[in-house]
Amino acid sequence: MSENSRPHVRTRRDHRTETAEDYVEAVLQVINERGVCRVVDLAKRFAVSHVTVTKTVSRLKTGGYLARELYGPIELTRKGRRMAEASMERHRIVYEFLVALGITSSTAEVDAEGMEHHVSEETLAKFKEFVAARGGK
């Protein structure tokens, strides 16, 4: 409760987990799309240099989310996969909510990428409800 319920404090906390969430999610998607996930794949997806990806992957390896050996592909640990699945689900709900609201799919894609990290459980539940109710429109 306490410190977590102060707006800016919660927002800063959201931002601290954002990179991990986006990375594990991307790794899972790339693996599903191409079999393995390499540094370049993430660099393209995030539009950052391969150096940034390498460094971030190292941090996430230390954090126990990713596994990787030198020059090898990027893999998800159990912990990472759990987070990836939860993130994808949440991301999907936010996206579908925006679409159900009448937002263009391309705008919904972009907005959802940032919004997803700031949606509480309570709000996510309402989003899901809304999609179920007026799903097609």
Partner DNA sequence: CACAAAGTGTAGCCTTGGCTACAATTTGTA
Partner DNA sequence: TACAAATTGTAGCCAAGGCTACACTTTGTG
Q: Which stretch binds DNA (CB under 7 A): 40-48, 89-97, 111-119, 123-131?
A: 40-48
To DNA, the closest distance from the beta carbon of 40 in angstroms equals: 4
- Based on the shown chain and the rule CB under 5 A, indicate whether residue 90 belongs to the binding site for Mn ion: no
Which of Mn ion, its own copies, DNA, none does 91 bind, CB closer than 5 to 8 A by kind? Mn ion
Task: Specify burial of residue 97 (Cβ count, 10 A radius: 0-12, 13-18, 19+).
Answer: buried
The C-alpha atoms of residue 89 and residue 104 are separated, in whole angstroms, by 20
The C-alpha atoms of residue 81 and residue 69 are separated, in whole angstroms, by 18
- Based on the shown chain and the rule CB under 5 A, indicate whether residue 22 belongs to the binding site for Mn ion: yes
To its own copies, the closest distance from the beta carbon of 112 in angstroms equals: 8
The amino acid occupying position 117 is H
- Based on the shown chain and the rule CB under 8 A, indicate whether residue 17 belongs to the binding site for its own copies: no
